[in-house]
Structure 1
Amino acid sequence: MKQAHSLKPAQWILKGPAAAALLAIALTGCAVSPQPFEAQQNKDRATDLIQRVAADQEPVSGPIDLYEAMARAIKYNLDSRVELMSLALSKRDLDLKSYDMLPKLVATMDYAGRDNDSGGVSRSITTGRVSLEPSTSSDRNVLASDLTMSWDVLDFGLSYVRAKQAADEVNIAEERKRKVVNRIIEDVRTAYWRAVSAERLLGKINELEVVTKTALEQAEKQEKAGLSAPLAPLTYQRELLSIRREAQSLGRELSVAKQQLAALMNLPADTQYKVAMPTRNMQWKPFSLPGKDMLQTAIENRPELREVAYQLRNNDREETAAYLRALPSLRIFAGLDNSSNSFLYNANWLGFGARASWNLLNVFSLPAAQAKVKAQGQLLDQRALALTMAVGTQVEVARARYEFRVRELDTAGNYFKVQEKIEKQIDAGFKSDKLSRQTLIREQMNTLVSEVRYDLALADLQNAYANVYSSLGIDPVEKDMSSAQPVNELAGQLRGMWAKRLDPVAAAAATSSNS
């Protein structure tokens, strides 16, 4: 009988160093080194980002009122878009997890070839004699294919649990989006009213700045010339400089208000736009809900508490997953097979079967997994309690702050009215040559400062009003509103929704439009 040839051990020993050298060369050639971006690549990237940051936005066609500013923030604010994309990603992950519950359908194709026949003989175990001559039952080149469907009961159970958890991840992403939108609308209210003040008063501040400078120069000349007692012009300069310093401080706050509002609406910083001039005459009333009802509403609606509740539900499902991992697995399969081997009597056949397996180590690790789930649940429960306490405090602070801002606005409004009357009296005295121009300039500055304070008090009240809704977890938009809507349509819906909530701004706008 012809002996099969094989390589001697010495041949393998001689080939080993050569193979090692080739492997070392290959690994050296595959080494990866850091490749920083080139200057032109950074320039192109920056240009692309700048072009896309405010692309595809509806142009500003007229003065922007509060509700159009809200609509633009909801539609174009990039923080809101990030959360919207995060929500869309969670939904795609849920779709992907749902496919894991389906049976697996696998198609394979296998080609095997050799330069000679495999052949084979049979040798007796008892006598050691070889029977039959070398023979083969396989072609030298064989192409085999199969299409097999399999379904694992344990994998299905785990996939179902993971899909349910992914569904709650969608809910968590939705709550995070709600939280961001609440914050954005709160910021828009404050920025909008500061922008109104800027548009209404910055021009006056700049005009009076010039007049004040002239008055200070005249007072300084009087002091140096000794035309009056030194104390009088110095006292006047001190009063005027004090008012001027306050006006400059308030003007500094207002100077960036329109840019801040533009950023919230995702308008480029250099965009020239006007804001609608709303009336200051609005009726602000305390919230009618009792404290306990407000707390109940907040605990039901706050995004942070809802997020923890979804996490707790997912943690309970993790315990179910731990139990499932400890169970035996049952895999059922069936498939169509085909082979090009000409020695086979049946080259096409249907294969089927079942296989059970059990990883016993998972049984031993089950108590540890349960302990982890329990600890995680306790942590989430304590977080919920801590958030409940924090939310309760925020609700009370927000309501107290709102009521304080209402009183503060009333005081600022009355102060402004009194100052206007004083200025009129001083102006009449100046026109009748009974009072000096310096006295008139001082009162004009006082009037301007009181007007700016009045507007800033109104902006602070608007922020406090929005903060109450945010602390209660009440959405600033309704579910049927979408960022895909045109700005005018979305702004109209927001206007109507806030009017139903008895928002004084919407009520005042409706009154002015009817009149």
Structure 2
Amino acid sequence: MLKHSYRYLSLAVAAAVLSACNSMEPQPYSADDQQKRILEDQAKMYEGQQAVTHPISFYEAVARALKYNLDYRLKLMESALAADLRDVSSHEMLPRLVASAGYAGRNNDSGGTSIGIEDREESLRASTSEERYRTIDSLGLSWSLLDFGMAYYRTQQKTDQVLMAEERRRKVAQNVLQDVRNAYWRALGAQRLLPEVNGLLERTQNALAAARSAESKGLLPRQEALAYQRALLDSIDLLSIRRQDLEFAQAELAALISLPPGSTLKLAEQTEPEMPGLNVNISQLEEKALQNRPEINEEWYRKRVNENDLKIAKAQLWPNVGVNWSYQYDSNDYLYNNSWSQTGIQVSMNLMRLLQLPALNSAEESQTKTDDMRRLALSMAVLTQVRVGALRYQLSHEQLDFAQQSLQVDERLLQYARAAKTSSVGSELEVIRAEGRYLLSRYQREAAYSNTQAAWGRLYNSVGLDMMPETIKDYDVKTLASEIERTLKQQEQVNLLAAQQGSVNVPQKP
């Protein structure tokens, strides 16, 4: 009977193994599975967002981008994951406490006989001291010095990786601010100009048709009519290109703030903040950049992670001290003591590993030099970004002043063309051309202002300044926008505008 039971058990195990092998065959997702996954992902992209019920200000756009931006949310999750992995690693320093229970059985008795060493004659009859079926339980506590040392250094590594993940989160937040600053003011200019561009394009198309009609009817000299048509076509081409730029700016901002598809983007009309002149102490900004930039701090933490890698390798050269204690129980009735405890201590050392020590010392020296050189190279790039950022802002500010002057001239020309307008075709075309020039000047002025804002944002970013509270998920969009506005103004006043005091060595245009 017992033999049949083992046979059935063997067949069941074989069937389970074959079934597991069959399940390892490639199983591609079906079209229904993919469609379900797409719908679920689309729902998760925009779930939990506060509805847009009013025009969006700049600071609210930044708040929405940071609260709902998927890249930033991913970095938050990476920070949380790194912290969890650190907690897991810290538990590896604890002693191991292992509890086990089992059942043992065999189909015949375990036993034996004894023979004499000298005469080789059997001295005892066959006997056993073990039951065929018995239960075994144990509870063991063990601790290893080598495992403790390696777990200690790994926990330090995980702690540094938490800090590295936090620096990456800071960098993503700074990049989001820069991208929103660049897109918002272009999108606001688009909101202001698109209706006028569309209206002027319609009028220009009508004027082009009128010029062609005047040419066919002989109301204008042929050369003059063709020249007007050429000018109108050039104006239409430029206006069409500018309209594409404006529409792209709105689409880019909508993507940055994770606006659901089909939503209407309406920005708040507001007085444009005056862009400050730049006359800064570059040395002071460079020092702040070396102190604040997330990339440099991340490299500094990475150096400690690499150092701990070598410490782990050196720890394996230590003598290992193992201490263990266990409690054992065996239900065997033939035992005199069915339960007992045992302790032990063991010292061991792999002497061959000592040969690795010179190589490890050399690797440690090379690793330190490499980490320092990588950080120095990154620091040099950061200093260059600060200087270039200051120069770019200075040039953008000058370009803004020039665009403002050009706009004023084209506005006066438009007023003159309208005042001198008559009923002739040429006069109407001249007004349209003046309106086109004026609208293009407005576009250039809006573009110059958004470029100046973007240059200011790049300078802010190059110094590595933060604008975020410690937590985001606990704030609604309105509160977060107010906090970002307060922090940005404070950082600019303390770290950027304050740097304009003292010795000045801003790079000049060649």
Q: Same fold (TM over 0.5)?
A: yes
- Is 1:493 the counterpart of 2:453? The answer is no
1:169 counterpart residue number: 161
**Contact 2:211–2:425 under 8 Å retained in 1:** no
TM-score normalised according to structure 1 size: 0.89
- Is 1:220 the counterpart of 2:220? The answer is no
Structure-2 change in CA distance of 1:112 and 1:127 (3 Å): same
2:250 counterpart residue number: 258
| 1:157 aligned partner, one-letter code | G
1:56 counterpart residue number: 48
Q: Which 10-residue stretch deviates more, 493-502 or 307-316? A: 493-502
2:347 counterpart residue number: 356
| 1:236 aligned partner, one-letter code | Y
Structure-2 change in CA distance of 1:120 and 1:36 (3 Å): same
Measure the CA separation in 2 of the matches of 1:52 and 1:241: 47
2:407 counterpart residue number: 416
**Contact 1:152–1:331 under 8 Å retained in 2:** yes
Deviation by residue 1:82-136 (Cα, 9 ceiling, x = unmatched): 1111111111110110110111000012321122221222111111111122121
Structure-2 change in CA distance of 1:56 and 1:29 (3 Å): closer
Instruction: Decide which of 442, 459, 476 is 2:450's aligned counterpart.
Output: 459
CA drift at 1:435: 8.2
1:299 counterpart residue number: 290
Measure the CA separation in 2 of the matches of 1:443 and 1:311: 60
CA drift at 1:296: 1.4
**Secondary structure at 1:142's aligned position in 2?**
strand
- Is 1:108 the counterpart of 2:74? The answer is no
**Secondary structure at 1:284's aligned position in 2?**
coil
Give identity over the alignment, percent: 35
- Is 1:326 the counterpart of 2:311? The answer is no
Measure the CA separation in 2 of the matches of 1:499 and 1:297: 17
**Contact 1:205–1:247 under 8 Å retained in 2:** yes
Structure-2 change in CA distance of 1:63 and 1:287 (3 Å): farther
Instruction: Decide which of 352, 362, 380 is 1:371's aligned counterpart.
Output: 362
**Secondary structure at 2:129's aligned position in 1?**
coil
Q: Which 10-residue stretch deviates more, 88-97 or 437-446? A: 437-446
2:225 counterpart residue number: 233
1:484 counterpart residue number: 474
Measure the CA separation in 1 of the matches of 2:14 and 2:259: 57
Measure the CA separation in 2 of the matches of 1:231 and 1:476: 60
CA drift at 1:334: 1.2
Instruction: Decide which of 33, 38, 45 is 2:37's aligned counterpart.
Output: 45
CA drift at 1:370: 3.4
Deviation by residue 1:184-236 (Cα, 9 ceiling, x = unmatched): 11010111111101111111111111100111111122223332332322222
**Contact 1:109–1:143 under 8 Å retained in 2:** yes
Deviation by residue 1:62-87 (Cα, 9 ceiling, x = unmatched): 00000000001110000111111111
CA drift at 1:253: 0.6
Structure-2 change in CA distance of 1:281 and 1:187 (3 Å): closer
**Contact 1:208–1:445 under 8 Å retained in 2:** yes
Q: Which 10-residue stretch deviates more, 28-37 or 263-272? A: 28-37
| 1:308 aligned partner, one-letter code | E
Q: Which 10-residue stretch deviates more, 416-425 or 365-374? A: 365-374
**Secondary structure at 1:430's aligned position in 2?**
coil
**Contact 2:397–2:452 under 8 Å retained in 1:** yes
Which of structure 1's runs of 4+ aligned residues deviate more than 4 A?
22-29, 431-435
- Is 1:309 the counterpart of 2:306? The answer is no
1:117 counterpart residue number: 109
Instruction: Decide which of 62, 68, 71 is 1:76's aligned counterpart.
Output: 68
Measure the CA separation in 1 of the matches of 2:226 and 2:426: 18
CA drift at 1:396: 0.9
**Secondary structure at 2:93's aligned position in 1?**
coil
Count of aligned pairs between the two proteins: 482
1:393 counterpart residue number: 384
Q: Which 10-residue stretch deviates more, 129-138 or 181-190? A: 129-138
- Is 1:345 the counterpart of 2:336? The answer is yes
1:436 counterpart residue number: 427
2:126 counterpart residue number: 134
1:285 counterpart residue number: 277
CA drift at 1:273: 2.7
CA drift at 1:414: 1.7
**Secondary structure at 1:354's aligned position in 2?**
strand
TM-score normalised according to structure 2 size: 0.89
| 1:260 aligned partner, one-letter code | E
Instruction: Decide which of 86, 100, 111 is 1:94's aligned counterpart.
Output: 86
CA drift at 1:284: 2.2
Q: What are the ranges of 5 or more consecutive residues in structure 2 without an aligned counterpart? A: 1-9, 498-510
**Contact 1:195–1:254 under 8 Å retained in 2:** yes
**Contact 2:141–2:326 under 8 Å retained in 1:** yes
Structure-2 change in CA distance of 1:232 and 1:434 (3 Å): closer
**Contact 1:423–1:440 under 8 Å retained in 2:** yes
| 2:157 aligned partner, one-letter code | Q
Measure the CA separation in 2 of the matches of 1:444 and 1:481: 50
- Is 1:157 the counterpart of 2:169? The answer is no
| 1:323 aligned partner, one-letter code | K
**Contact 1:322–1:370 under 8 Å retained in 2:** no
**Contact 2:422–2:428 under 8 Å retained in 1:** no
1:471 counterpart residue number: 462
Measure the CA separation in 1 of the matches of 2:385 and 2:57: 29
1:450 counterpart residue number: 441
**Contact 1:75–1:484 under 8 Å retained in 2:** no
2:505 counterpart residue number: none
Deviation by residue 1:33-88 (Cα, 9 ceiling, x = unmatched): 32211111111111111111111111111000000000011100001111111111
Measure the CA separation in 1 of the matches of 2:409 and 2:271: 19
| 1:355 aligned partner, one-letter code | Q
CA drift at 1:391: 1.2
**Secondary structure at 1:374's aligned position in 2?**
helix
CA drift at 1:313: 1.4
Deviation by residue 1:272-320 (Cα, 9 ceiling, x = unmatched): 13101122462422153x1111111111211111111111112222232
Measure the CA separation in 2 of the matches of 1:141 and 1:372: 57
**Contact 2:465–2:491 under 8 Å retained in 1:** no
Structure-2 change in CA distance of 1:458 and 1:29 (3 Å): closer
- Is 1:270 the counterpart of 2:265? The answer is no
**Contact 2:327–2:342 under 8 Å retained in 1:** yes
